[in-house]
Amino acid sequence: MNFPRIRSKQIILSVLAAGVAIGVSVRVFGGDAPGMVAPKQATFQVKNEFKVQAPKGAKTVRMWFAIPQEDAASVVRDLRVTADFPVQYFRDDWGNRVGYAEVSAPGEGPITVREEFALTRTEIRNTIDPAKTRPLTEQERAALFAYLQPTTHVIINDQIKSLSASIVGGETNPILAARKIYDWTLLNVDYWVKDPDHLKASSVGSTEYCLTKKTGNCTDFHSLFASLAIAAGIPTRMIYGSLLKPTLNGMQVDGSYHCWIQFFAPNYGWIPLDVSLANIYGKEFPLTEKNKKLVELTTATGYRGFDASKVDYYFGNLDERRVTWSMGRDLIMQPPQNDGPVNALVKIYVEVDGKQSTDWTREFTYAEVAK
């Protein structure tokens, strides 16, 4: 497994991360402008609890766990981490703030880490005019070099380059080119929850899987989008978080995770999109006894049937019901892990005596706070 290239522009790119403004918006493409719309906002109390089981005779357990990231749309308050051992905080090579703990000679029973915090999330609404951007300069490409590179599961090969070129068709405007890739992905891939008897997701979030099977989960969708966008010269990064779904509000179950994309366009900065949710809301499919619960739990705001407006909405806009855990893939932790790059930090990464362990559970629960 290859380690990612060093991200020497991290400080510059951290500043660029603020490029997605939270303002007011109309629909991105097409339709009648309904006027200026104030972004929605929601506040939640969130609890994330990890239980790690160490095998008998283990000498050292090391844990790197996701904590909420503050960004242009998120305000995190009163973060409290409870554990029976010291917890430290570091940043990985993508700049994510990560909790870290190390337990020597663990006894019987689970090792528990609990984090609680308050989150106020604001909807991201953007008015995007493709005429106001332009192709990247060579200086911008150099500064954004890290976001033009493949990773282990976001591949760039001759097939991807050829497909990307056929989709983009020579378009050099990054917004118009990204929209073409977005539309192609929406039309040619189906979220696995629509037909769980026949469609499955990959276990890692894979461009190759999504392209071959024409299905997958959010990470499969966005891995394929990222590959096609990078092949077209569009800087792209993947954001991992969780959707704060109304249907799971206050329920003691694991709320799982979700991911989405940001791509860079000059004069705008980082623009978000979520083609996997656009696929759920904006592409018609039969609702059955087998898929309706899965479909509902996959959405951000609740599923009430086909809604074509969501296709435009999720290109440039993001709902307020989500928390951000991390950015990027093939992560190198601090202090460094021993067992190769971390595919993505969605929940927790654990090593027991220098080898990755998946013998852990996570319970992610939340309750919306009334205004």
Domains of the chain: 10-39+126-326 (3.10.620.30), 42-122+331-369 (2.60.40.2250)
Residues 262, 265, 269, 272: is their CA dihedral positive or negative?
negative
- What tokens appear for 137 in the block? 């300069």
Q: Where are the strands (E) in 10-122, listed by range?
A: 41-52, 60-66, 74-82, 88-91, 97-104, 111-122
pLDDT of the residue at 370: 83
35 pLDDT band, cuts 50/70/90, is: low
- Of 72, 167, 162, the C-alpha closest to 125 is 72
Condensed to tens digits (0 to 9), the pLDDT of residues 327-371 reads 999 999 999 999 999 999 999 999 999 999 999 999 999 999 987
- What tokens appear for 119 in the block? 């989150």
pLDDT of the residue at 5: 36
Q: Which of 31-35, 322-326, 344-348 has the lowest mean pLDDT?
A: 31-35
Condensed to tens digits (0 to 9), the pLDDT of residues 279-312 reads 999 999 999 999 998 998 889 888 889 999 999 9
- What tokens appear for 274 in the block? 């979520």
Average confidence score pLDDT of the chain: 89
Condensed to tens digits (0 to 9), the pLDDT of residues 45-85 reads 999 999 999 999 999 999 999 999 999 899 999 999 999 99
**Does the pLDDT value for residue 14 go beyond 90?**
no
Q: How far apart are CA 63 and CA 105, in angstroms?
A: 14
Q: 3-class SS at 187?
A: helix
Residues 244 and 322: beta-carbon distance below 8 Å:
yes
What is the pTM (predicted TM-score) of this model? 0.89
Condensed to tens digits (0 to 9), the pLDDT of residues 171-208 reads 999 999 999 999 999 999 999 999 999 999 999 999 99
Q: Which of 2-6, 108-112, 124-128, 234-238 has the lowest mean pLDDT?
A: 2-6
